[in-house]
Amino acid sequence: MNLKSKRILVFGGDLVLMNKLIPGLNHAGAHVTWVNSGEILEDNFENGQYFKFDQIKSVAFYVNILEPFLRNSENFDGILFALSEGTLRPIGMTNINVSRQMLEVNYLTFVELIRLVLKTKKLNKGSSILALSSISSIRGLKSKMAYAASKASLNSAVLNMAAELMPKGIRVNAILKGALTTDMEQKHVQDMFAIGQDDSNKSNLGLTSSEELTTLCILILSDALKTMTGTLLKLDGGYSL
């Protein structure tokens, strides 16, 4: 199981997780192109490039920046969609603007990214597309309705995209991750747990480590599972059971 000579596009992702995941992809042999906003990794890439775009969550970014960027890029053998935005709001505070924002970032950006990659013909035959979704999409949690609905939409996009791209030899899958050990390093997540709004840190088998998530990402992006597509893989320590 390795990614030697494979070019992987990593799209989005929080810095804490990417500081673990991207070096793991590098170690597996992948050349990584990371497109994101905000800070860069603590360490330089062993093999790859980082592109910072401040407006990655805006419609203008996809229209004016991403398509030209893709046209000037080399072809990819895999895509890891890690862009995400969450919110903690009870139903009474979940207005249409909140729901729209969640859908735009967690669902529509994925569809638009893949549409543009296909339009610019930058995805090689035999490629693997992997989206990081959430266990919230299949498990009811307090104050997470808008976020959960947007991730459920992402899951549906993965299933339908897998069916459509299968004749082209392109696989599409998603990981429904629960709480990660890296999540506990972020204060806002600690606060959510502390006030009892989220108990997804109470997985029977413990929290998933960034190393375990990285291993699964490498496996799916590699050629080790050439016939797996349209799969929603739960990685939550048994929390959803």
DSSP, residue by residue, 29-92: T-EEEEEESS---SS--SSEEEEE-TTTTSHHIIIIIIHHHHHTSPPEEEEEE---------GG
How many angstroms separate the CA atoms of 51 and 4, rounded? Answer: 22
> What confidence category does residue 55 fall into, taking pLDDT thresholds of 50, 70 and 90?
confident
140 Cβ partners below 8 Å, 6+ apart?
A: 148
Q: Is residue 181 part of a domain?
A: yes
What's the domain range around 115?
A: 7-235
- Domain containing 112 — which CATH number? 3.40.50.720
Number of compact structural domains in the chain: 1
Q: Is residue 56 part of a domain?
A: yes
Q: Is residue 241 part of a domain?
A: no
Rounded to the nearest 10 degrees, what angle do helices 210-221 and 15-27 cross at? Answer: 50
Q: Is residue 1 part of a domain?
A: no
Please report the pLDDT score of residue 185 as a whole number: 46
- Work out the average pLDDT over 134-143: 84
Please report the pLDDT score of residue 195 as a whole number: 44
Q: Is residue 11 part of a domain?
A: yes
- Encode pLDDT of 202-230 as tens digits: 667 878 888 999 999 999 999 999 999 99
- Encode pLDDT of 149-177 as tens digits: 999 999 999 999 999 999 999 999 999 99
Q: Is residue 125 part of a domain?
A: yes
Q: Is residue 240 part of a domain?
A: no
Q: Is residue 89 part of a domain?
A: yes
